[in-house]
Chain A
Amino acid sequence: MNQLFADTGVIFGRSMRQTLRSKTSLTFGMLQPLLFLALMGPLLSKVDLRTGGTSWQAFVPGLLVQLSLLGGMFVGMGILVERQVGVIDRMRATPLHPAAPLLGRTLRDVVQLVVQSALLVVLGVAFGLRAPLAGVLLGFVFVGLLSAALALLSYGLAMNVRTTPEFAAIANTVVLPMMLLAGLLLPMTLAPGWLDAASRIIPFRYTVDAVRHLYLGEYTDGTVLAGLGVTAGLATVALYGGLALFRRSARTP
């Protein structure tokens, strides 16, 4: 176990330095949420989203989940490239714990996405967001869990596809319906009954609802707890799924 932590730390360090070297990494996955914040957020400022509070308190949490979703789902691109040039094989031929390449990278992604989220919130405040500090900070816990879940699944997928286009096609196909159905941009409080019901099969729905409640300072009405349960559950499933997919790729390259 200690060996796993130490090895994960080695890969985390390596991945973090990779991220810091890259000029595009800070903005990777951030462009869409930023554009939505700047160009769509102001349109909503006089609209009643029926979530209680201001439109910003509903809109910014949606963007945070969108950032996790887009940022997390596409991290697999990086490992695909490393797999193709033989970096993964080089690691696998060392005594490094077999789970470390997955966990170390995922940890880096969580850090990166939480930092980007903080940036997004700061910009949101500049545009007019007002929310309780405790709620905002707790919101980052949800962002972290969700980012971890998506990154784990994304890496697992990337290790089991043959080509980059194949990966991109699958990831894109998954992301768009999920994003729309979860009510990230406009909350499902506006939806007709059937759409609201359909959206309840999407786990991110519970995450975004919970973060919206956190931004309203409503910590105790059950929504936050439900969101935490679903998000942590998703992260747990993704952890086992990601590890299994990683192992599978070692058996059948």
Chain B
Amino acid sequence: MPGMTPPVLDVHGLSRTFQLRSGPVHAVRGIDLTAGRGEILGVLGPNGAGKTTTVRMLATLLPPSGGRAVVAGHDLLDDPAGVRARIGYVAQSGGLDPSCPVGEELVTQGRMHRLSRAGSRARAAELAADLHLEDLLERPTAALSGGQRRRLEIALGLVNRPEVLFLDEPTTGLDPGSRADLWDLVRRVRRDHGTTVLLTTHYLDEADALADRLVIVDAGTVVAEGTPADLKARHGAATLQDAFLAITGRATDAPAAV
């Protein structure tokens, strides 16, 4: 997949420094990434590693301090509008209006992607059916369970049939059942639509189970890269947990759940 067709995600030396009164914070220090069409790329790292900063840059929300990236065939710096039309972005915080009913949130998202009124209603209905949100359309988003919220947020990210879907810590805070459902959903999105998915996580089991390929980041740099099997083999580790420990010299700050 990567190498055969031009990568859908091609990132070189991406960096970001925040200037604070207390001094500069080098959140991301020159990251390289690639992902091919239909690939699920896991960005694994402890809290503060720079995962969110990286994703926000790739989603055009934060100007990089350095580096370049091509996202879905469009240059991040020269054509951010071209990028926005072709990505879905689901923030860790989700970005739902608590008072807004589910159906309305879906339709408005379509309108923001410049679908016609009828077009965005049709797309909303399609996604609601596909992501099992049909019975929730009238419900305000504040009244959803954690798993339902995540499904809606991902549905919002899929409204424009993106080539790349960014999921920032999509299962943090979910119960085990909802996590498993979400993994299935991500796999299904990739299978049905060939969507490239970049997801960040600090759960080792999630990275192991879901990602085709992993990029391990620590303190703003890529410290290892490969398939979960590669990484384990390379470090003679039985589990990803052991491999991670060998690579970074420490555990991620959350235990690998269930």
B99 interface contact, C-beta 8 A:
yes
Are the CB atoms of A89 and B113 closer together than 8 Å? no
Are the CB atoms of A87 and B95 closer together than 8 Å? yes
Are the CB atoms of A18 and B100 closer together than 8 Å? yes
Are the CB atoms of B85 and A95 closer together than 8 Å? yes
- 1/0 per residue, CB under 8 A from A, across B86-120: the answer is 01010111111111100010001101111000000
Chain A residue contacts of B92, Cβ below 8 A: 86
B84 interface contact, C-beta 8 A:
yes
Decide: A93 near B96, CB < 8 A? Known: A14-B108, A86-B91.
no
B233 interface contact, C-beta 8 A:
no
- From the candidates A82, A85, A90, name the one contacting B156 in the complex (CB within 8 A): A90
Chain B residue contacts of A251, Cβ below 8 A: 63
A residues 111-147 near B (Cβ < 8 Å) are: none
A94 interface contact, C-beta 8 A:
yes
- 1/0 per residue, CB under 8 A from B, across A88-105: the answer is 011111111000000000
- Output the least CB separation between B26 and chain A (Å): 16
Decide: A95 near B61, CB < 8 A? Known: A85-B93, A90-B95.
no
Chain B residue contacts of A21, Cβ below 8 A: 99-100
User: Cα distance A21–B92 when bound, in Å?
Assistant: 26
- With an 8 Å Cβ cutoff, the count of chain A residues facing the other chain is 26
User: Cα distance A250–B61 when bound, in Å?
Assistant: 7
Chain A residue contacts of B56, Cβ below 8 A: 89
Are the CB atoms of A18 and B99 closer together than 8 Å? yes
- Indicate the member of A6, A10, A85, A94 with the most B CB atoms within 10 Å: A94
Are the CB atoms of B97 and A89 closer together than 8 Å? no
- Output the least CB separation between B255 and chain A (Å): 27
Decide: A22 near B99, CB < 8 A? Known: A90-B156, A94-B112, A251-B63.
yes
B34 interface contact, C-beta 8 A:
no
- Output the least CB separation between A218 and chain B (Å): 45
B239 interface contact, C-beta 8 A:
no
Are the CB atoms of B95 and A85 closer together than 8 Å? yes
Are the CB atoms of A85 and B104 closer together than 8 Å? no
Taking CB as reference atom, which chain B residue is nearest A82? Answer: B97
User: Cα distance A91–B159 when bound, in Å?
Assistant: 13
Are the CB atoms of B93 and A93 closer together than 8 Å? no
B148 interface contact, C-beta 8 A:
no
A17 interface contact, C-beta 8 A:
yes
Taking CB as reference atom, which chain A residue is nearest B84? Answer: A95
- Output the least CB separation between B78 and chain A (Å): 16
B60 interface contact, C-beta 8 A:
yes
Are the CB atoms of A89 and B112 closer together than 8 Å? no
B11 interface contact, C-beta 8 A:
no
- 1/0 per residue, CB under 8 A from A, across B24-41: the answer is 000000000000000000
Decide: A93 near B111, CB < 8 A? Known: A18-B99, A86-B94, A86-B95.
no
User: Cα distance A90–B84 when bound, in Å?
Assistant: 11
A193 interface contact, C-beta 8 A:
no
Chain A residue contacts of B256, Cβ below 8 A: none
Taking CB as reference atom, which chain A residue is nearest B60? Answer: A93
B62 interface contact, C-beta 8 A:
yes
User: Cα distance A96–B100 when bound, in Å?
Assistant: 19
Chain A residue contacts of B61, Cβ below 8 A: 89, 92-93, 250, 253
- Output the least CB separation between A227 and chain B (Å): 37
User: Cα distance A59–B98 when bound, in Å?
Assistant: 39
Chain A residue contacts of B99, Cβ below 8 A: 18, 21-22
Are the CB atoms of B113 and A94 closer together than 8 Å? yes
User: Cα distance A10–B92 when bound, in Å?
Assistant: 25
Decide: A94 near B97, CB < 8 A? Known: A17-B104, A86-B91.
no
User: Cα distance A18–B96 when bound, in Å?
Assistant: 13
Chain A residue contacts of B180, Cβ below 8 A: none
- 1/0 per residue, CB under 8 A from A, across B75-87: the answer is 0000001001101
What is the interface of chain B, defined by CB distance below 8 A to chain A? 56, 59-63, 81, 84-85, 87, 89, 91-100, 104, 108-109, 111-114, 156, 160
Further contacts, 17 of them, CB under 8 A, given A7-B112, A89-B56, A95-B85? A10-B111, A17-B104, A18-B97, A18-B100, A21-B99, A82-B97, A85-B93, A85-B95, A86-B92, A86-B94, A87-B96, A91-B112, A93-B59, A93-B60, A94-B160, A95-B81, A251-B63
29 pairs from A and B in contact (CB 8 Å cutoff): A10-B111, A10-B112, A13-B108, A17-B100, A21-B99, A22-B99, A82-B97, A85-B93, A85-B95, A85-B96, A86-B92, A86-B94, A86-B95, A87-B95, A87-B96, A87-B97, A89-B61, A89-B91, A90-B91, A92-B60, A92-B61, A93-B60, A94-B84, A94-B109, A94-B113, A95-B84, A96-B114, A250-B61, A253-B62
Closest 5 CB pairs of A and B: A86-B95, A90-B95, A93-B89, A86-B93, A86-B91
